[in-house]
Amino acid sequence: MKKNLRKVFAVSMAGAMVAGCIPAMADEAASTTNWEPFAETVTLRVPVYDRGAEGVPDVSNNYWTGWIQENFGDQYNIKVEYVPITRSDVMTSYALLAADQNLPTILMEYDYPKVAQWADDGYLATFSMDDFKEVAPTYYASMEEGGRLMYSTLGGETYFALAERPYYDTVYSFQTFVRMDWLEQVGYDHVPTKRSEYLDAMNKIMEAGLCEHPGGGAMLTGVGSDQNQAYRTYPCNEEEWAMYGDYNIPALGWEPNYNLLKRANEDYNSGITDPEYYIIDSETAKANFVNGKSYSYSGYVSASTDFLNAFYDQNPDGKLAITPISSEVDESGEDGIVTVPAWRAENPFGMIVGFSNTATDDELKAAWMYMEWLSQPENLYTFQWGIEGENYNLDEEGNPVTVSDYNGDYKQGFNNSKDYWCIVKEKRTFDTVEENIKADTPQDLPQNFTDDIIKYYYDRLAIADQYGLSDCQFSVVIATQSEYQNTLGELYKEFRDALTMCKPEEFDAMYEDYAQQYADQGYQEVVDERLEAFQAGNSTRLPENQKAADAE
């Protein structure tokens, strides 16, 4: 691994003194910042995703970027510049900036392999976590409280600070909505969760002429494809979890992937899946659900959820339901495949934050000050919610409620400006999960899903220790993963489509052949390197084994 020879010098206390004690938790902290302005203007360049979304302000120049400059930057003689990063091609955006020797002061991403690659490519500075703690005690305390400090090092060097991700193990904000009205028309008073019931319901929906291909479908789009947690055996084999469980490269050749694709082949050949799914992009898949061409759609819910708004506009008498949690093992399929109510828990951290290897000491201090300033509750609250009476109003309990159709001078960026404040926290939170779910669920639709999602949360929480696992994270760079990920991703799309659309009697032989080709094209090297890193102690462990290791 390439080593960054430049070490961050000790923080100058005269330039960045923080008054007060370190708070026990970030949410309880009063404002602790008492810094002196820099003697000369320091430019702080901060990345922000440019998602190409319609109806949102210019990501690098809007009311809220000006608000940061006025309330933070001007106070400390810091010029804050926001650098647009293409959301669909993050690595290329950063690579182009690096080639131009113009990296932002802060580099940040959600996926650990990506930031590990930046470290390996020499983009990032190493730093002293003690120095960071001096400047950003609130941010540090949140990492310590949330158990995120263990992820800050790579190859024995400190590279990262990590944002908070509330409710990471239940992921309640991601929901699958189904056409309950269709189910009722074919005799169901509940959402099927067992395979046998699902197939029966889909066939009845097709026979009733409600939808030609109710399973819908969409093309594969890279990272996160074909997550197979429901097809794994629990408790997991820890070495297999480390070798195959990562979601960045689909695990073609592992039994859970075989079972997942076997089911995909069955759905395709039975007509449940749209035969043209492989040319359906994400926006078309969303439109298909809205327009009655598919039974279900999965997505994140928020105070204003576009696909729900569009659905009820198009189907004012439509009736939806969320797919509930079943804690039962499902052996109802005739194919002998067993599924369990498991899911990929998110990482315990949100945004992974690194700092440019070309940043000066003052620029690094400015970055840490920015993170600490945003960690103060009063600042984070305003950035997340906006202006009272404009972006939000208070409900009877005194909690803010977003004005979902606000379009005035204080209009926030995508998803309530999350791409700015996610450097601190992944989502807006209240004191209780019930309040959080209410805030995250649209309240102005013909149906209100708040109570259903609260039940979903508690049902998942009850089995999270058994079935809600995060992926293995490595504290060294897995070089072969970086080398082969793009090639394997494209190869998997080709093989996956062929396996989905082949005749059932051809599936097994084709799968075996493709799995061998996949291994030969680099996947075997990837899993071997992961196993070597795991056996050397350079990775996280399954939760029960991590606790035992920590206790030794």
- Residue 272: helix, strand or coil by DSSP? coil
Q: What are phi and psi of 106, to 5 degrees?
A: -105, 135
Whole-angstrom distance, CA of residue 92 vs CA of residue 174: 28
DSSP H helical ranges for 121-167: 129-135, 137-145
DSSP letters of 224-241? TTT--GGGS-SSPPHHHH
Helix 137-145 vs helix 361-375: crossing angle, to nearest 10 = 70
**Domains defined along the chain, listed by start:** 26-166+348-383 (3.40.190.10)
Alpha-carbon distances of 8 from 34, 126, 137, 358, 390, rounded to whole Å: 22, 7, 18, 11, 43
Q: How many helices (H) and strands (E) does the chain have?
A: 20, 14
Whole-angstrom distance, CA of residue 471 vs CA of residue 464: 14
Structure tokens at 308: 């729900």
Whole-angstrom distance, CA of residue 357 vs CA of residue 8: 9
Helix 255-269 vs helix 479-501: crossing angle, to nearest 10 = 30
DSSP letters of 20-54? SPPPSSGGGPPP-B-PPPPSS-EEEEEEEEE---T
Rg (CA), the chain: 24
Structure tokens at 179: 């056409």
Question: How does strand 468-469 pair with strand 343-344?
Answer: parallel
- Residue 121: helix, strand or coil by DSSP? coil
Beta bridge partners of 320: 179
Per-block average pLDDT, block size 10, for the chain (552 residues)? 33 31 35 82 98 91 98 98 95 96 97 91 97 97 95 93 96 96 98 98 98 96 86 96 93 98 98 97 96 96 90 98 96 96 95 98 98 97 97 91 90 94 95 91 92 98 95 91 92 97 98 98 98 94 79 66
pLDDT of residue 338: 97
Whole-angstrom distance, CA of residue 167 vs CA of residue 196: 32
Run of H or E residues at 114 = helix 112-120
Whole-angstrom distance, CA of residue 32 vs CA of residue 378: 12
Closest CA to 104 of 82, 73, 126: 82
pLDDT of residue 33: 63
Do residues 448 and 439 make contact, with C-beta atoms less than 8 angstroms apart?
no
Whole-angstrom distance, CA of residue 524 vs CA of residue 518: 8
Do residues 533 and 478 make contact, with C-beta atoms less than 8 angstroms apart?
yes
Closest CA to 6 of 154, 110, 159, 145: 159
pLDDT of residue 415: 87
Structure tokens at 201: 């319901």
Closest CA to 187 of 176, 200, 174, 177: 200
pLDDT of residue 224: 76
Threshold 0.75, pTM exceeds:
yes
Run of H or E residues at 468 = strand 468-469
Structure tokens at 227: 């997550």
Whole-angstrom distance, CA of residue 351 vs CA of residue 426: 7
Closest CA to 355 of 539, 164, 158, 165: 158
pLDDT of residue 52: 86
| Apex 7 CA angle, 6 and 12, nearest 5 | 130
pLDDT of residue 32: 52
Beta bridge partners of 7: 126
User: Rounded to an integer, what is the distance from CA 475 to the centroid of its chain?
Assistant: 20
Closest CA to 169 of 433, 434, 490, 494: 433
pLDDT of residue 547: 72
Which DSSP state fits 70? I
pLDDT of residue 511: 98
| Apex 8 CA angle, 21 and 87, nearest 5 | 90
The tokens 């259903």 sit on which residue?
Answer: 452
Whole-angstrom distance, CA of residue 300 vs CA of residue 171: 9
Run of H or E residues at 242 = helix 238-244
**Residue-wise pLDDT tens digits, 149-161:** 999 999 889 999 9
Closest CA to 347 of 161, 537, 171: 171
Whole-angstrom distance, CA of residue 535 vs CA of residue 261: 30
Do residues 332 and 195 make contact, with C-beta atoms less than 8 angstroms apart?
yes
Whole-angstrom distance, CA of residue 360 vs CA of residue 358: 7
Do residues 529 and 480 make contact, with C-beta atoms less than 8 angstroms apart?
yes
Closest CA to 21 of 147, 129, 164, 134: 134
Do residues 462 and 327 make contact, with C-beta atoms less than 8 angstroms apart?
yes
- Residue 84: helix, strand or coil by DSSP? strand
